[in-house]
C-alpha cells in the first residue's frame, strides 16, 4: 500500500484517462473539501442532497474524516488510502472525499446510479402466458434479487455473489434453497464460476456457454428464462439459479429435456388440461423434426408406403418440379428460416407484415413456378408452426436446427439402402433410424456430471 499523493486527481487522470473523471473543491465552515468521482456513473442527486446539502446545513464543526462520515446518511462508506482501491471504487460509482489539510486519506462513498438506463417495465413479453403472473426480470441484479426474496419468504433462500470478467467486473449471483438443493450441484456451479476466465460477461447466456458441460452440443444444457415464477418453481424443485447484472434472463440447472417443454401456465390449469397441452407440445416437436426428413425418405426411395388415394395428388403436384425431394425440401426450409430471421430482426409491425406477405407471396410464386409442390409447402408450414409450441426459445432453436441434419441423413441413408441392397426388404429401417436418432437426441438427460 502506497500513500496517496497530495493531488490525487492528477494521478488518477493519468490512470483512468477519461473525461468523465472530475474533481471539485468546496469550502464549508472554513474547511476545504475535495470531491473526486466519475460523473457518468454516479447519482448527482445523492451528491447534492445527501452530501453537499448535509454538510452545508450542519452546525457541528468538521474537524476530521470521522465527523464528516457521521454527517452523511449513506450506508456504504469506508476510509481508504490505497490507490488501487480508490481507482476501482471510482470506476464502480464511488466518490472520494478528502478533507484539507490532510489529503493522504479520504472517504470512499458509494453513490452509484444503479437505476439509470434500466427499463422499469418488467413484463415477461417473450414468454407470455394467458393465466398466471406476468412479472419478469429486468437488467438490474438488485431488482431481480428483490423480486425473488419477495416471492420466496424463507430463511432457506441463499444468495451467493461472485465477480466475473476481468474487464467488465460483472456481478453474478448464485441462488439456491438450502436443504433442498443438492450441495454437489452448488459446489459444481460455484467452482465453474470461480474458474471462469473471460474478459467481459455480456449476458447470462455467455455464462451458460462458459460453465456448460459440452459446448458443442446443440441442446441447451441450462434452462434460460425471464419469468420470476419459473425461477421460483426451479428453486423449489432443487435447481440452482444463476443471475448476472445487465441481463434480464436467468439460467438454472441441472435440467432434463422435459423441463424445456413445461410451461409455467401448466401449473395454473387443471392437471388433465395441462397434461393434454404438454402432450400436444411433444407431438408438435416430433412432427416438426420428422416431417421434412420423412418426406425426403418416402418420396425418394419408398413410394410404396404411400396410400394409393394419396399417391395421385403427390405425383400431380410434383409432375413439373425439376428438383429432387432433397433439394426441394432444403430450398423451402431455407426460405422459411430466412423469413423467420428477417421478421425477428425487423421492427414488430414491419416484421409481421414481412412474415405474412412474404410467406404467401413466395409460397404462391414457388408453386406457380413449379419450384416446389403444394404438399411440401403444407408440411413445411406445419413443421414451422409446430416448432413455435416450445415454451423455451433456446430449445425451439435446437428443434429448428435438428431438421437439417436429419434431412441429409434421410437422403444419405436411404440412398445407401437403395443402391446396395433390396430396397423393399430394408424399407422400414430408414424410418426406424430417423425416429431412433431423433428420440435419442431428444431424450438424453442434461445435467451436471
Domain boundaries, the chain: 8-110, 141-255, 268-443
Buried-exposed string 149-172: b where 16+ CB fall within 10 A, e elsewhere:
eeeeeeeebbeeebebbeebebbb
Confidence of residue 186 (pLDDT cuts 50, 70, 90): very high
The answer to whether 119 touches 139, Cβ cutoff 8 Å, is yes
More confident residue, 118 or 380: 380
Distance (Å, rounded) from C-alpha 245 to C-alpha 254?
A: 22
Strand, coil or helix: 243: strand
**Quick check: 143 pLDDT over 80?**
yes
What are the grid coordinates assigned to 301, written together? 426411395
Helix (H) or strand (E) holding 95: strand 94-99
Angle of CA points 331, 336, 341, to nearest 5°: 125
The answer to whether 256 touches 446, Cβ cutoff 8 Å, is yes
Angle between helices 374-387 and 325-345 (to 10 degrees): 40
Residue 242: closest CA among 153, 176, 179, 157: 176
3-class SS shares of the chain: helix, strand, coil, % to 5: 50, 15, 35
Distance (Å, rounded) from C-alpha 235 to C-alpha 183?
A: 13
Amino acid 17: pLDDT: 66
Which runs of E-coded beta strand occur in 142-239? 157-164, 170-177, 223-225
Angle of CA points 7, 9, 12, to nearest 5°: 120
Amino acid 30: pLDDT: 78
Q: What digits encode the pLDDT tens for the residues 214-268? A: 878 888 889 999 999 899 999 999 999 999 988 899 999 898 888 888 888 888 8
Distance (Å, rounded) from C-alpha 240 to C-alpha 255?
A: 10
Distance (Å, rounded) from C-alpha 391 to C-alpha 281?
A: 9
| CB burial of residue 246 (10 Å; 0-12, 13-18, 19+) | middle
- H helices within 246-391, ranges in order? 271-301, 308-317, 325-345, 348-368, 374-387
What are the grid coordinates assigned to 65, written together? 474524516
Q: What digits encode the pLDDT tens for the residues 188-207? A: 999 999 888 888 888 888 88
Distance (Å, rounded) from C-alpha 161 to C-alpha 172?
A: 6
Strand, coil or helix: 20: coil
Angle between helices 348-368 and 374-387 (to 10 degrees): 150
Amino acid 446: pLDDT: 43
Q: What digits encode the pLDDT tens for the residues 303-338? A: 777 787 877 888 887 888 888 888 888 888 888 888
Amino acid 447: pLDDT: 44
**Quick check: 423 pLDDT over 50?**
no
Strand, coil or helix: 280: helix
Distance (Å, rounded) from C-alpha 156 to C-alpha 153?
A: 9
Residue 12: closest CA among 37, 33, 44, 32: 37
Amino acid at each position: 500500500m502506497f500513500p496517496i499523493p497530495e493531488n490525487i486527481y492528477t494521478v488518477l487522470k493519468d490512470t483512468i484517462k477519461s473525461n468523465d473523471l472530475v474533481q471539485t473543491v468546496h469550502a464549508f465552515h472554513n474547511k476545504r473539501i475535495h470531491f473526486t468521482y466519475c460523473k457518468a456513473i454516479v447519482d448527482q442527486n445523492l451528491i447534492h442532497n445527501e452530501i453537499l446539502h448535509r454538510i452545508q446545513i450542519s452546525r457541528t464543526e468538521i474537524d476530521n474524516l470521522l465527523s464528516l462520515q457521521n454527517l452523511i446518511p449513506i450506508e456504504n462508506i469506508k476510509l481508504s488510502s490505497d490507490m488501487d482501491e480508490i481507482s476501482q471504487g471510482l470506476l464502480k460509482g464511488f466518490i472520494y472525499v478528502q478533507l484539507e489539510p490532510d489529503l493522504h486519506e479520504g472517504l470512499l462513498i458509494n453513490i452509484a446510479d444503479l437505476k439509470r438506463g434500466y427499463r422499469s417495465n418488467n413484463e415477461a413479453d417473450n414468454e407470455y402466458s394467458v393465466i398466471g403472473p406476468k412479472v419478469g426480470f429486468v437488467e438490474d441484479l438488485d431488482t431481480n434479487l428483490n423480486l425473488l426474496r419477495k416471492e420466496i419468504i424463507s430463511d432457506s433462500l441463499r444468495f451467493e455473489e461472485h465477480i466475473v470478467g476481468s474487464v467488465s467486473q460483472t456481478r453474478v449471483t448464485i441462488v439456491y434453497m438450502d436443504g433442498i438443493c443438492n450441495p454437489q450441484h452448488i459446489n459444481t456451479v460455484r467452482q465453474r464460476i470461480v474458474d471462469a476466465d473471460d474478459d467481459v460477461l455480456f449476458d447470462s447466456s455467455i455464462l451458460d456457454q462458459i460453465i456448460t458441460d459440452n459446448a458443442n452440443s446443440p441442446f441447451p444444457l441450462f434452462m434460460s428464462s425471464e419469468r420470476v415464477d419459473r425461477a421460483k418453481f426451479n428453486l423449489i424443485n432443487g435447481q440452482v439459479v444463476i443471475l448476472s447484472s445487465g441481463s434480464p434472463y436467468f439460467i438454472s440447472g441441472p435440467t432434463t429435456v422435459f423441463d424445456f417443454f413445461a410451461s409455467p401456465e401448466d401449473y395454473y390449469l387443471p392437471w388433465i388440461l395441462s397434461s393434454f397441452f404438454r402432450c400436444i407440445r411433444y407431438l408438435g416437436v416430433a412432427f416438426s423434426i420428422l416431417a421434412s426428413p420423412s418426406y425426403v425418405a418416402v418420396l425418394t426411395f419408398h413410394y410404396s408406403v404411400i396410400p394409393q388415394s394419396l399417391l395421385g395428388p403427390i405425383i400431380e403436384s410434383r409432375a413439373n418440379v425439376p428438383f429432387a425431394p432433397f433439394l426441394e425440401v432444403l430450398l423451402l426450409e431455407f426460405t422459411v428460416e430466412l423469413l423467420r430471421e428477417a421478421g425477428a430482426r425487423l421492427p414488430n409491425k414491419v416484421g409481421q407484415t414481412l412474415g405474412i406477405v412474404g410467406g404467401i407471396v413466395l409460397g404462391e410464386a414457388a408453386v406457380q413456378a413449379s419450384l416446389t409442390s403444394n404438399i411440401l409447402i403444407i408440411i413445411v408450414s406445419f413443421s414451422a408452426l409446430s416448432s413455435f409450441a416450445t415454451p423455451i426459445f433456446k430449445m425451439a432453436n435446437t428443434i429448428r436446427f435438428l431438421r437439417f441434419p436429419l434431412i441429409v441423413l434421410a437422403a444419405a441413408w436411404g440412398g445407401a439402402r437403395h443402391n446396395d441392397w433390396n430396397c423393399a426388404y430394408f424399407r422400414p429401417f430408414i424410418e426406424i433410424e430417423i425416429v431412433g436418432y431423433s428420440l435419442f437426441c431428444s431424450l438424453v438427460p442434461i445435467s451436471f456430471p
